[in-house]
Chain A
Amino acid sequence: MSTFRQFSIYRYDPDAGGEPRMQSYRLEIPDGSRELMLLDALGMLKAQDESLAFRRSCREGVCGSDGMNINGRNGLACITPLRSIKDPVTLRPLPGLPVIRDLIVDMTQFYNQYRAVKPWLINHEPEPEIERLQTPAERDQLDGLYECILCGCCSTACPSFWWNPDRFLGPAALLQSWRFLADSRDQATAERLDDLEDPYRLFRCHTIMNCSDVCPKNLNPTKAIGKIKAALMKRVG
């Protein structure tokens, strides 16, 4: 005995041209198989139809490469149990980004936003012999920030990102911006805040919270964005 699952998957082949279409698949799951993740099922489908394209690498939620829109909601295929999603399992690429092929999107826009927040430590003091020290309390400030795997699930679920991807930084980049603003070793607070303060980069965020709702690592970009706004308020008094 075995069970069958139905899939409906977004297909686009740039070489064939034409419009993207949805393709149905049926997958036989033998009884007694171990608990399957959606990524396992995708692998089994690829064995049936090797033209099916998707990204994956770590298969355990740390590389951030298999973000996709699963039954209308962004998530990582590798840590989404197949059991938790209803038939037909409808898979589409992350919303709002150009589709290269099937479930693979062009993340250039997303990485440009990330780059725009200068995601590195800026410290003008001479480098110490060993390392720049932090107290445990200072280090705690980075929890919930450094864990981001840049999967793009949050930004591509954010309406403000959909409408203004070229000017609004999006939740992932803003979370990283706060990650460096909150770092006791970083000395570029004023410049970072200057860069954020215009009506687009930060303030296109309307606290919709779609980002925090979908983040597969349970991070909270909205909270980080709130902290940035609070820091801006604090500096004017």
Chain B
Amino acid sequence: MKIQPQYIGSTRRGLGEWFAQRVSAVVAAAFGLYFLVALCLAPPTDLETWRAWVLGGGMRLALGLFFAATLIHAWIGMRSVFLDYLKPMSLRLVVSTATGLGLAVIALWVAALLLGAV
């Protein structure tokens, strides 16, 4: 199948993704740094304290925000990489579908985890 797209008129698109990439980066940076430093300074020693920390109210919310931001960031970022390097449209279709599905599974998984399915 040869997919040959044709585009007419301004798409007004690109800026939104670009901006979302920056905002999500700030969220990921703030939380990621906090999480890494906290883990290094006080590595969890038993399940109780670990659960109390990670699943505490504020932390649960923060983790949710972090994963939401990171997944959006990852999707835009990977799309950007595909746009640069993958020229055949059918290849791009397969690879971006696989990536999108993978990220969607991760999103559901994280949601289940944080909403207390475990």
Instruction: Kindly provide the distance from the CB of B19 to the nearest chain A CB, expressed in whole angstroms.
Output: 7
Query: Is there an interface contact between A164 and B10, defined as CB atoms closer than 8 Å?
Result: no
Instruction: Say whether, besides A163-B84, A163-B85, A233 and B11 are in contact (CB < 8 Å).
Output: no
Say which residue of B7, B11, B80, B83 sits within 8 Å of A197 (CB atoms).
Answer: B11
Measured between alpha carbons, how far is A61 from B13 in the docked complex, in Å? 38
Judge if B15 is at the interface, Cβ distance under 8 Å: yes
| CB <8 Å contact, A236 and B85 | no
B15:A232 contact, CB within 8 angstroms: yes
A7 to B14, CA, bound (A): 45
Which chain B residues border A195 with CB–CB below 8 Å? Answer: 10
B35 on interface, CB distance cutoff 8 Å: no
Q: Which residues of chain A have C-beta atoms less than 8 A from B10's C-beta?
A: 194-195, 197-198
Check A229 against B11 for contact (C-beta < 8 Å). Answer: no
Known: A194-B12, A195-B10, A197-B12. A229 touches B85 (CB 8 A): no
Asked if A199 and B83 make an inter-chain contact with CB atoms under 8 angstroms apart, the answer reads yes
> Complex: how many Å from CA A195 to CA B15?
13
Alpha-carbon distance between A229 and B22 when the two chains are bound, in angstroms: 13
Distance in angstroms between the alpha carbons of A233 and B17 in the assembled complex: 12
Chain B contacts for A173, CB-based, 8 A: none
- Kindly list chain A residues whose C-beta atoms are within 8 Å of the C-beta of B53: none
Q: B83, A233: Cβ atoms under 8 Å? A: no
Most B-side CB within 10 Å, residue of A164, A195, A197: A197
Inter-chain contact B13/A204, CB cutoff 8 Å: no
A204 to B18, CA, bound (A): 10
A204 touches B84 (CB 8 A): yes
Q: Does A214 interact with chain B (Cβ within 8 Å)? A: no
* A198 in complex: contacting residue of B11, B19, B85, CB < 8 Å: B11
**How far is A229 from B16 in the complex, measured between Cα atoms in Å?**
11
Q: Known interface pairs A199-B17, A229-B18, A233-B19. Does A204 touch B11 (Cβ–Cβ under 8 Å)?
A: no
Bound: A200/B13 CA distance, A? 10
Query: Which residues in chain A, 201-237, are within 8 Å of chain B measured between CB atoms?
Result: 202-204, 206, 229, 232-233, 236
- Known contacts A194-B10, A197-B13, A206-B80; can you find 12 more A-B pairs with CB under 8 A? A164-B84, A195-B10, A197-B11, A197-B15, A198-B14, A199-B14, A199-B83, A200-B14, A200-B83, A202-B14, A203-B14, A229-B15
Top 10 closest A-B pairs, CB basis?
A203-B14, A194-B10, A199-B14, A198-B11, A232-B15, A163-B84, A198-B14, A197-B12, A197-B14, A203-B18
